[in-house]
Structure 1
């Protein structure tokens, strides 16, 4: 496979995965699209060789995570409001209402927890693989995943309790 076809192959096979990851980390569909372009452009400009498709996918997700981190640190990000926040960006996502609510709960978590929860539950990575992707120690990733689950569980239980109280009030 030559360099041109590597980037094209990667885009066709993992384009949607990279887009979902970028959206999960950036919270903005338009920013996610820009990040996807940057990720595949960097693969095209600086071709690499990969052991297999999983290695390619892990590299793409690692680059995506790094680009999202760079976006979060940028001056532009901290000083602007995206159009996605103003419009109903949920119409763009093709996921169920419950899935959307859970996705919003995950996005509301601190980024360090949301990142590992997304990689584990949405992309199916193990703690060891997530440690390689995020550049963190395996024990750190395991702790982040455990704490993220605890925070998510507590938030879901709190919302469930609020819903029950609202139902009782209407009776």
Structure 2
């Protein structure tokens, strides 16, 4: 067993602290980057747990190295969301680090799914072909916010985790 991974199952109640931390980071991001506040603070589409931790939520045999939390915003042509403005919290829930990452969904696509944040996020991930999006789709995507997404499995991933060992 790999000791750098957490194999304790994650439950929906474990998602709540991640949601609260993510919502606090959403506000803190704009305090650190006030030039982006007008363009993005009010245009959050959704926050998701992604990659290995999301797959672990579905299958605890995978293990968790860290929590990858992704923020998806409606794109604003006045400002680009910095893709590489990644923030890491070294000691998150269950002693695992948290990485925060952000993407902007093109406005026409976001508006097409204005009442369906899961649809907007998945359309964005499925209709674009980049290395980042391919990597995200290999593993699960689980909603954290808004309330309509909380605990909802948006994507189960394409990897055979049981066969690959995570």
Is the structural similarity TM-score above 0.5? Answer: no
Structure with bigger gyration radius: 1
Point out the structure with the larger strand share.
2
Higher relative contact order (Cα pairs below 8 Å, separated by 6+ residues): 2
Normalised TM-score (structure 2):
0.28
Normalised TM-score (structure 1):
0.28
Point out the structure with the larger helix share.
1
